[in-house]
Amino acid sequence: MPIFQDEVCNKVISLEETLDYFSSIDISDRDALLGGAPTLRALANNRTFLTKLITDELKDVGSLQKTNQYSAQVFTLGEGINFFMRANFWPAAHDSIFQASGARPFFYDVPHDHNFDFLTVGYYGPGYLSDFYEYEYDDVVGYIGEAIKLRYMGREALARGRTMLYRASVDIHNQLPPESFSISINVMTNFPDQITGTNQYMLDLPSGVITSLGNRTSLPLLCQAAAEIGDEECIDVLDYIRASHPNPRGRVAAYAALARLRESEAHQVWSDAVSDPDRHVSVQARIRLARLQGEAVAI
């Protein structure tokens, strides 16, 4: 279960002070990030800063949130050393934007974990709801269709002034609409190697089956493109990636592309992959070999 705190805070600070504080700590230290909860609550007591930022954005609607790489649900607030801040908007099921767009653009009913820690506070409204689960990351191979063991931890809402520390690769949440429109403010850790190299899982409940991987890396798709149009030079590069790339997911993608490009040698390609030191690669290689041989898949 994420770590919730409900302590009352009467202090009020600015967004700039908040950014300075989180830049001054070791954001990679989970305890240090949690120690910033009072600072984030003090920002949540500032009832004018977000209104001013939204008003300023609306004044220049032609360049509205031009640096925002996320969805319309996200409003970027700033960044610091290895982190960024954002506000998240959470419409209720009866709100017109929900009625027009449906649930998925707001990640409602999309159970998933995260591959980064973040600290969040309720800023406005009763707060969105979440059903929380925990799992053991090291027990998971990480392939589509794999069933992982989930432990249900309960349902919570992020009410105004309440803080929550969400733990990377530990906590899973299924977010649900609030009773009325709500806003949260997040401090998101931002370490590119972690975000691209650590798997993030989208899940089906209650089976616990992995339905997709969500970490942001273009390598698997580039490998697939190479499998479609690659030449001999491309094969040499893929061979190097499958042997040396630090990301197991990337190595699987390279093996898959090689097996596609050299279809007559696919059995040998996946036989080589079985010896990979990472289970994410070796287990999937055994699955591919079993399929090639028309055998039942045994993990």
H or E, element range at 30: helix 30-34
pLDDT for 65 equals 52
pLDDT for 80 equals 96
pLDDT for 56 equals 86
pLDDT for 266 equals 95
Which whole-number Å values give the CA distances from 163 to 9, 179, 187, in the listed order?
Answer: 11, 19, 11
pLDDT for 143 equals 93
Enumerate residues 6+ apart whose C-beta is below 8 A from 140.
146, 148, 199, 201, 210
Long-range CB pairs of 9-12, under 8 A, 24+ apart, other chains included: 9/38, 9/41, 9/42, 9/44, 9/45, 9/161, 10/45, 11/38, 11/41, 11/42, 11/45, 12/42, 12/45, 12/46
Taking each helix axis as running N to C, give the angle between helix 266-273 and helix 248-261, from 0 to 180 degrees, rounded to the nearest 10.
Answer: 160
Nearest to residue 151, comparing CAs of 172, 168, 176, 174? Answer: 172
pLDDT for 293 equals 85
Nearest to residue 224, comparing CAs of 244, 199, 252? Answer: 252
pLDDT for 26 equals 97
Nearest to residue 146, comparing CAs of 99, 100, 93, 210? Answer: 210
- The Cα angle at residue 281 between residues 280 and 285, in degrees rounded to 5: 125
pLDDT tens, the chain, 299 aa long: 999 999 999 999 999 999 999 999 999 999 999 999 999 999 999 999 999 999 988 877 555 555 555 557 889 999 999 999 999 999 999 999 999 999 988 999 999 999 999 999 999 999 999 999 999 999 999 999 999 999 999 999 999 999 999 999 999 999 999 999 999 999 999 998 888 889 999 999 989 999 999 877 788 999 999 999 999 999 999 999 999 999 999 999 999 999 999 999 999 999 999 999 999 999 999 999 999 988 655 55
CA 233 to chain centre: 34
Give the chain's domains with CATH numbers: 3-213 (2.60.120.10), 219-289 (no CATH)
pLDDT for 216 equals 75
Q: Tens of pLDDT along 87-126?
A: 999 999 999 999 999 998 899 999 999 999 999 999 999 9
pLDDT for 296 equals 58
pLDDT for 31 equals 98
